[in-house]
Amino acid sequence: MLEFWLFECGGGDAWFLDSTEESLGFILADYGFDVWVANVRGTHWSHGHVTLSEKSKGFWDWSWQDLALYDLAEMICFINLKTSSKIFLVGHSQGTIVSLAALTQPDVVEMVEAAALLSPISYLDHITAPLVRRMVSMHLDQGTFSQYDYGFFKNLRLYGQTKPPAFDLTRIPKSLPLWMSYGGNDALADVIDVQHTLNELQSTPELVYLENYGHMDFILSINGKEDLYNNMIGFFSSLGKSSSS
């Protein structure tokens, strides 16, 4: 399953914006994978609700952790029920922070065969993109990988504590195969922050480091297949499974 969200602005069609030879969605299909594409709340594909209007406040009353604990979890469960198999999970950008949070939940991880994360994000202490730095300072507890920070009083009401609870990356099982790729020119997934994430994990993921790659190069590079995707597909194939992606 492919998931891409850049702070709720992108949809799953981002996996098909490059040429048919370089877009990961097409490449996986050509290799015989059963490709599922995720779209969640906030994307242009999600403007519908059984009771709420998209103009109502309630329609937008959610945060990124809801994508991890509810949206992604339900999509993985749906695919698992439809295919009767575990899935290969692929995320980029906010899709990685949502994936990492979801994979700390035992009921989710038991339906996942392996995960591949492009530009993995959890800790955000060294980001250089100005807009994102402002968003982080407003709503995320820097220095931790935590749930949404609603402020002192709402945190106390929702979480029973003044600070949002942290997601414990050590809960991602050592037995879950992980593959990660990150770049030296990424203003969102800084190399130091990626290393912080790696230090928290029980396992040692397979890594691909690309010095000249920026954040969007991981899905839009004209050399993505050669630089990235062949390695990722080799990782999936080495597991000897025919799971859904």
Give the helix/strand (H/E) hosting 89. Answer: strand 87-93
**Catalytic member of 119, 181, 215, 244:** 215
pLDDT digits (tens, 9 = 90+) for 119-173: 998 888 888 777 767 766 655 666 788 988 888 999 999 999 999 999 999 999 9
pLDDT digits (tens, 9 = 90+) for 82-112: 999 999 999 998 889 999 999 999 999 999 9
Within 10 angstroms of residue 54's Cβ, the number of other Cβ atoms is 10
Distance CA 182, CA 133 (A): 19
Concerning whether 93 is annotated as a catalytic residue, the answer is: yes
Contact partners, residue 129, CB within 8 Å, separation at least 6? 187, 188
**Catalytic member of 18, 71, 149, 186:** 186
pLDDT digits (tens, 9 = 90+) for 206-234: 999 999 999 999 999 999 999 999 999 99
Distance CA 218, CA 220 (A): 6
Distance CA 92, CA 67 (A): 14
Please, what are the domains in the chain? 2-129+176-238 (3.40.50.1820)
Distance CA 164, CA 157 (A): 11
Concerning whether 56 is annotated as a catalytic residue, the answer is: no
Concerning whether 139 is annotated as a catalytic residue, the answer is: no
| In contact, 213 and 93? CB cutoff 8 Å | no
**Catalytic member of 23, 93, 119, 245:** 93
pLDDT digits (tens, 9 = 90+) for 25-84: 999 999 999 999 988 787 777 777 888 888 888 888 888 889 899 999 999 999 999 999
